[in-house]
Chains A and B, each alone.
Chain A
Amino acid sequence: GQQVMQIPQYQHVQEGEDFTTYCNSSTTLSNIQWYKQRPGGHPVFLIQLVKSGEVKKQKRLTFQFGEAKKNSSLHITATQTTDVGTYFCSSNTGKLIFGQGTTLQVKP
């Protein structure tokens, strides 16, 4: 079945540094959805990408969907302590297939 792999598993950055997490699949994905889960919280939907090569921005967050629709990335510019949490990519085929997530720690 469809699987998505995420790297890195953990990332520690100094506040103000940039952060990127990558999501890869061996099969073509119909879409990619990104979710953020704060410690002790539940996943919260961030964005959905559908088109090949699509790029979307939300303030300091930039999301990309690869040309072959097999990979995606989330880049955060100038991290803040409020960015702390685990970021999951997922493929939505009716059911969400989550990657393992990248846990971001930000040192103030």
Chain B
Amino acid sequence: DAGVTQSPTHLIKTRGQQVTLRCSPKSGHDTVSWYQQALGQGPQFIFQYYEEEERQRGNFPDRFSGHQFPNYSSELNVNALLLGDSALYLCASSLRDIQPQHFGDGTRLSIL
């Protein structure tokens, strides 16, 4: 039973570029949430997808967008990258929204 899988594991981009991160939820889960974790900080909620729609959103600018596909997998897109976007991006899945969330290993994004 595969858990949450994320790709790629590491990524290096330059300022102004765009990036797409991918996530496959744990089998049986239908809700995907994305978090940004800066070094030494707790994860910060970006947004959550359920039934292919964004259901909740945290305090992140419109440069951060996402998508959920019919098979429940999800993408996180970030446009016009800034140095401050360097972080670990975590995807978490759950069955519905308030159940415990299962996290993937994350994508480490570095902006030069």
Using Cβ atoms and an 8 Å threshold, which residues of chain B touch A101?
A: 41-42
Asked if B18 is an interface residue, CB under 8 A from chain A, the answer is no
List CB contacts (< 8 Å) of A26-83 with chain B.
31, 33, 41-45, 48
* Known pairs A42-B90, A101-B42; A96 contacts B104 (CB<8 A): no
Q: Report the Cα distance A39→B44, complex, angstroms.
A: 18
Q: Which residues of B in the span 48-106 have a Cβ within 8 Å of any Cβ on A?
A: 48, 55-56, 58, 90, 92, 97-98, 100-106
Residue in contact with B101 in the complex, picked from A31, A96, A97, CB distance below 8 Å: A96
Which residue of the partner chain B has the closest CB to A9?
A: B40
Residues in chain B near residue A94, CB distance under 8 A? 48, 55-56, 97-98
Contact: A41 with B100, CB < 8 Å?
Answer: no
Which of B33, B45, B97, B104 has the largest count of A CB atoms less than 10 A from its CB?
B45
Interface residue from B45, B48, B56, B90 paired with A43 (Cβ < 8 Å)? B90
- Residue contact A42 to B105, C-beta cutoff 8 Å: yes
Q: Which residue of B lies closest to A99 (CB)?
A: B42
Task: Other than A42-B90, A95-B56, give 20 A-B pairs with Cβ distance below 8 A.
Answer: A33-B100, A42-B103, A45-B100, A45-B101, A45-B102, A92-B98, A92-B100, A93-B98, A94-B48, A94-B97, A94-B98, A95-B33, A95-B45, A96-B33, A96-B45, A96-B101, A97-B45, A98-B42, A99-B42, A100-B42
